[in-house]
Structure 1
Amino acid sequence: MTGNVKETVGRYGIWSTALHSGDPSRNAELAEAAVELEELGYGALWLGGNSSARDAAPLIEATSRIVVGTSIQSIWEHEAADAAASFAELDSAHPGRFVLGLGVSHAKFAEQYRRPYSALVSYLDALDEAGQPADRRLLAALGPKTIDLARERAAGSIPYLVTADQTARSRERLGDGPLLAPELKVVLESDPARARTLARDYLAMYLALPNYTNNFLRNGFTEDDLANGGSDRLIDAVYAWGDEARIRARIDEYIAAGADHVALQLVHGSTPTREFLPREGWSRLASLLT
């Protein structure tokens, strides 16, 4: 496969923690799911959580065109030289099929967490020195300085847990060239109370992470919006829920705001699970995108 990241990931992808497990005995099951997602027309698979090229390899080997990216590979958990070497090995075998998505993760998950922006800059320096191409990496960029890095030192941005309004502001800051591929959570439930309850239960773990809550406050939400699992206003801004027409309209809002690609995460429980692959839901979602 040739072409830059923006040309190869297509309009829609799937974001999932379930597509990698660290358990080789599940590789066949995950590969089968990846083949099905490719057949459904998705352009990219985003491996949620602290994933790596090793996790992407079985999915790439089983498929023929779909791009697989990490969302994210933590800069604290993987040395830059090792990340560059793993990238080179996989890209040599399957050119253009793997995208290295990077981020600073959260203090809660990394004991060495400090000065994250400076650490990210140093990490990119080390990747450059090791020969990892900037046009094959993406940054999970929320704040203005990191968005600038995504524009200047990567192929673009893969922000997590952002609104359509923030997507528009990110597009303006990135400019037209770089890829902007926000993640968007989807609940296939039309009853408002049930949909928001499911969404709120899942969002709770993210509202304990300052990187996200600070970003919400920076983008116009209030402390009241963050209380008690999130206000309806917050839930409705970061989720697509409802019938097929409403969900499609919410996804289209992100495209209209400047997203080149939307990474869709199907939410089906209060916590992500590495064991459950929501294949029926992925199929339903694909049908409303065509």
Structure 2
Amino acid sequence: MAEEAKSGNAIWETIKTIVYALLIAGVFRTLFFQPFWIPSGSMKQTLLIGDFLFVNKMAYGYSYASCPSLIIPSVGLNIDAEDVCGWMQGDDNTRLLGGEPERGDVIVFRHPVSGRDYIKRLIGLPGDRIQIREGQIILNDTPVPQKPDGVFTEIAERQGPQGLRPRCENGPVGIGGSCEKTRLIETLPNGVSYDVLNIGNQGSDNTGIYTVPEGYYFFMGDNRDNSADSRLPQAAGGVGFVPYENLIGRADRIMFSSAGRSMLFFWTWRGDRFFKAVN
């Protein structure tokens, strides 16, 4: 009997340890850092498909969007941040301990309609007037400078778990070929500089004028011709203007990067991207 009691206590202690560990991990993820794996090429070359990073949730404070979503379609699991923290939502579009994002920050945010997590660069602040002309940002009637910086080259192959094929400026390229895009250095008025890529002329290179509403933000991907962002309204598959409360956190540093179909395939990890800063 004593041995059975001891065995029962050991099982109970193990269960409590697991529960405590999950609670601590949940609190850590909710309050401090959220893991994020880059699924698409919309932020190349700043972020590549397969980059794994932690999002700094302390940068902008907390809202309902700070609660993690747990979505695993293969097993039918779909726990949304609204399901857990929807009580924090309101009509005031505010945050607890809120901090203001800076132009040029790379930010993970919650899509205003689908609720999925997106990562883009913050271009427009509340009150800004933004237009795109021939691929160049016109910010508050002033062109944002762009300087040619050579060519971004990658192998034309299926990338990431979705097997996405990169789009190339040098035309359709066969598997294993050299896929090229023109690279430019763009510099925002606050001095933040970063690389943007160009694939070709398309509708999103020339837009009307967007006026960012109070309490909202305007985002764009660095891979300009391969990004569904604030240039497109939500009804057309874009993200439109993003409310302040939908910001999740700032991407500061890549932990590691996998060029394979899974981040567990350690032999495909990119050796030059360990702890690389996100600029």
What interval of TM-score do these two structures reach, taking the shorter chain for normalisation?
Answer: under 0.3
Question: Taking structure 1 as the reference length, what is the TM-score of the superposition?
Answer: 0.26
Select the structure with the greater relative contact order (CA < 8 A; seq sep ≥ 6): 2
